[in-house]
A and B are shown apart, each in its own frame.
Chain A
Amino acid sequence: DQQVKQNSPSLSVQEGRISILNCDYTNSMFDYFLWYKKYPAEGPTFLISISSIKDKNEDGRFTVFLNKSAKHLSLHIVPSQPGDSAVYFCAASLDLYNTDKLIFGTGTRLQVFP
């Protein structure tokens, strides 16, 4: 049973536009959510996170929104840049302070074209 789902396997966005990556989860006990960026043949790199007590967290061009009632979170990248082209994984944890059990989504491949 996939507890964290990224239903869009790929997304293509023009440079300068907004990229919106979506993630849905089923377990209402998840307390902390993270986004990772992954290039081919590399490990994931932590990007941004949000705890369940917030509905928005912003870091530069990256903003994560959390809608707990809908069990949905999204990552907004604006403006999108070609270097943002990568696979993005959302992950969830049951514990804000102990993220040892991360449940990952299947990833969304973002391609930003000029």
Chain B
Amino acid sequence: GAVVSQHPSWVICKSGTSVKIECRSLDFQATTMFWYRQFPKQSLMLMATSNEGSKATYEQGVEKDKFLINHASLTLSTLTVTSAHPEDSSFYICSAMRLRLAGGETQYFGPGTRLLVL
């Protein structure tokens, strides 16, 4: 089946530092990847759509200068949380779109990255 990986799986950092999270599609190419965040006991909230070779599309309320997204290849998207603060502590999950045999596309999710900002 489709596999999407994320690295690192967890990270602890000091307030003010930047953290980069990688999302890779391991056995398929994905022109579109997505970044979500999930707070405890809450739903997954889409942050941005990452498009290979072009700028990411951010959802309303998500600061593009704080959450930098780069989709440098068809198998890699990165999310950089710049100048992280404790309120950025969350579970970040990426997904990648893969074509379905029956037509259309389906999102496959990575295992997530837990970020704790001290």
Taking Cβ atoms with an 8 Å cutoff, the residues of A that contact B are 4, 9, 34, 36, 41-46, 49, 89, 96-102, 104-107
**Number of B residues with CB within 8 Å of any CB on chain A:** 29
Tell me the interface secondary structure of chain A in the complex: loop
A42–B103 contact, CB under 8 A?
Answer: no
B residues engaging A (CB < 8 A)? Answer: 4, 6, 9-10, 32, 34, 41-46, 49, 91, 93-95, 97, 103-112, 114
- How far is B105's CA from A99's CA once the two chains are assembled, in angstroms? 6
Q: Which residue from B49, B95, B107, B112 sits with its C-beta under 8 Å from A41?
A: B112
Q: Are A43 and B106 in contact (CB under 8 A)?
A: no
Q: Which residues of chain B have C-beta atoms less than 8 A from A101's C-beta?
A: 46
Shortest distance from the beta carbon of A49 to any chain B beta carbon, whole Å:
8
Please name 13 pairs of A and B residues whose Cβ atoms are closer than 8 Å in the assembled complex, sorted by A. Answer: A36-B109, A41-B91, A43-B4, A43-B6, A44-B44, A44-B93, A44-B109, A45-B109, A89-B43, A99-B105, A101-B46, A102-B107, A107-B43
